[in-house]
Amino acid sequence: MACDGVVAIGASAGGVEALKELAANLPPDLPFAVMVTLHMRPGGPSLLAAIIDRSGPLPAATATDGAVLEAGHIYVAPPGHHLLADDHRVVLTVGPSENGHRPAINALFRSVALDYGPCAVGVLLSGLLDDGVAGLAAIRDRGGVTIVQEPSDALFPDLPRNAVKAGVAQHKAVVSEIGGLLKQLANREIEEPEMDPDGLLELENRIAMAKRFAISFDPEDLGPPTTYTCPICKGTLMAVAEDTYRCPIGHAWSAQALLFARDEELEEAVSVAVRILREKAKLSHQLAESAGPETRNRYTALAAEAEHTIAALVAGLSESQQTQLG
């Protein structure tokens, strides 16, 4: 069958360079709308759409809520908003972050899987960790096509490499050849698969579509509770799937992203502990200077104990960081 299609592109670290090269090699007559999500910090203006617009033949602009998705146009997620598709229109939301990101790649991929089915193409480029891998699985499972940048071609190969390891990458290509591959895919025969409703996929999409804190759902619909807590809201995380979690607010985490967030929490906790111990050592030395002989020894011992604990904490954190880098 023939259908209006969409190309959903996700990237993280190293993604700007990859997107520029991909845009430069897109065919000018590409019969797909193109949606782009790049992990970025919220709050400031983004020049990404202008960069992509200058890089290739297709017009690119920051996406606006409600815009009709038109073939041959590129729609770029603004900072702080999920970029989603519904009824072949752009939806921008401030729904719960996923893997610590808004916009999130998984959110975009899930929405196009549900909205476009076999007419969706997912493309995962350079980046860290694994946001987008679960979303590619959703696109593939609903009859769409998945493409990843050849890991050896990516500045940061984690994203495409994790997609390959998960078995959700149907095509691998260096980024300069993805445009040609998309042109070939535009001519493929589309078969509408018989799909049973996927309640969990639809629930996760509704969570991303909702206004902030507006969606009401039973957390147990996500899966069984775990012993883990959400790094953002500290709520109990539910096991959505293997190595995938959500909290009752809706924040989503892969196991890799959760581990990375725990490292950040640990560094913050150690920083607080070191500050408190330094103040304790300083106060102990101060009191020792004005104390009598017996009391002075006790204050000096307290200062030495605090300083020893600081050294142990800093050494332990440094060792943990070196292990990760190795």
Residue 121's pLDDT is: 98
Burial code (b: 16+ CB inside 10 Å, e: under 16) for 133-155 equals bbbbbbbbebbbbbbbbbbebbe
Give the residue with greater pLDDT, 183 vs 44.
183
CATH of 5-186 given 3.40.50.180, 1.20.140.10, 3.30.70.100, 1.10.260.40: 3.40.50.180
Whole-number Å distance between alpha carbons of 105 and 101: 9
One of 39, 73, 82, 101 is an active-site residue; which one? 39
pLDDT value at 3 more than 80: no
Beta-ladder partners of 245:
239, 253
Largest CA distance in the chain: 92
What letter would DSSP give residue 235?
Answer: P
Give the residue with greater pLDDT, 6 vs 41.
6
Beta-ladder partners of 44:
none
Other CB atoms closer than 10 Å to residue 109's CB: what's the count? 32
pLDDT value at 319 more than 80: no
Domain boundaries, the chain: 5-186, 256-325
One of 12, 97, 126, 254 is an active-site residue; which one? 12
Residue 324's pLDDT is: 56
Residue 325's pLDDT is: 44
User: Do residues 37 and 10 touch, judged by C-beta distance below 8 A?
Assistant: yes
Mean pLDDT of 126-138: 97
User: Does 39 qualify as catalytic in the annotation?
Assistant: yes
One of 82, 111, 126, 131 is an active-site residue; which one? 131
User: Lowest-pLDDT range, 1-15, 187-201, 275-289?
Assistant: 187-201
Give the model confidence (pLDDT) of 222-274 as tens digits. 999 999 999 999 999 999 999 999 999 999 999 999 999 998 888 888 888 88
Residue 201's pLDDT is: 96
User: Does 65 qualify as catalytic in the annotation?
Assistant: no
